[in-house]
């Protein structure tokens, strides 16, 4: 059984130094527990805004811990210490620009400063690495997208594409709770529901 392994990396000088409690990893973990119906294991890392340390955490999660999906939170803005995207691109084999474009598109529905975000999505080996915002509310919006008053999707969240991407990278087949986020894949790539 190819168990889904997810790496969560929170990038924050202050949280890494114990000045305040990290909110990114708990928010990601809670969302994944709601969204995924596929069993999964989580590996977490809390690192300061230091590019070599972020790169090391990403490489370790992919190369040694074999996480098929790595989600980072924090450090994606234009400030001098915001180096998460730089670290992510430095360890990437290929870039997946659609993820960054869609994350900014979602956030623009809430704040005009979304254009200041430098979030990226990349592939390293057979793993997908995605930079998410630092705020728990923004993490949820980015992953789920926007729904109207009736609950219909107005703007697709990025997680709708993640299960198929992992499948194309020969990772495990990921299923989600459609009430949270419906995974999209072509008919030819779908498996019949498990009884």
Tell me how far the alpha carbon of residue 64 is from its chain's centroid: 19
Residue 103 sits in a domain of what CATH number? 3.40.980.10
Evaluate whether residue 16 is within a structural domain.
Answer: yes
Q: Is residue 195 over pLDDT 80?
A: no
Give the mean model confidence (pLDDT) for residues 53-81.
Answer: 97
Give the mean model confidence (pLDDT) for residues 41-68.
Answer: 97
Evaluate whether residue 64 is within a structural domain.
Answer: yes
Alpha carbons 52 and 56: distance in angstroms, whole number? 6
153: containing domain? 4-189
Evaluate whether residue 195 is within a structural domain.
Answer: no
Evaluate whether residue 120 is within a structural domain.
Answer: yes
Evaluate whether residue 95 is within a structural domain.
Answer: yes
Alpha carbons 175 and 160: distance in angstroms, whole number? 10
- Give pLDDT tens digits for 127-167: 999 999 989 999 999 999 988 888 788 888 999 999 999 99
Q: Is residue 97 over pLDDT 90?
A: yes
- Quick one: angle between helices 24-35 and 136-144, nearest 10? 30
Total domains present in the chain: 1
Question: Are 11 and 74 in contact, with CB atoms under 8 Å apart?
Answer: yes
Alpha carbons 37 and 195: distance in angstroms, whole number? 14
- pLDDT in the model for residue 147: 82
Evaluate whether residue 194 is within a structural domain.
Answer: no
- Give pLDDT tens digits for 18-29: 888 899 999 999
- pLDDT in the model for residue 1: 53
Global confidence as pTM: 0.95
């Amino acid at each position: 059984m190819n168990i889904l392994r997810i790496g969560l990396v929170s990038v924050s000088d202050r949280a890494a130094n114990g000045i305040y409690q990290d909110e990114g990893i708990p928010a990601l973990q809670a969302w994944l527990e709601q969204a995924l119906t596929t069993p999964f294991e989580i590996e977490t890392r809390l690192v300061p805004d230091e590019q070599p340390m972020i790169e090391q955490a990403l490489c370790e999660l992919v190369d040694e811990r074999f996480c098929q999906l790595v989600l980072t939170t924090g450090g994606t803005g234009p400030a001098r210490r915001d180096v998460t995207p730089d670290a992510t691109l430095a360890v990437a084999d290929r870039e997946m620009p659609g993820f960054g474009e869609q994350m900014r598109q979602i956030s623009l529905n809430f704040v005009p400063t979304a254009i200041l975000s430098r979030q990226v999505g990349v592939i390293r080996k057979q793993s997908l690495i995605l930079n998410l915002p630092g705020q728990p509310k923004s993490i949820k919006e980015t992953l789920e997208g926007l729904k109207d008053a009736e609950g219909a999707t107005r703007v697709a969240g990025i997680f709708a594409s993640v299960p198929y991407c992992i499948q194309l990278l020969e990772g495990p087949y990921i299923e989600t709770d459609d009430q949270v986020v419906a995974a999209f894949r072509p008919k030819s790539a779908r498996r019949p529901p498990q009884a």
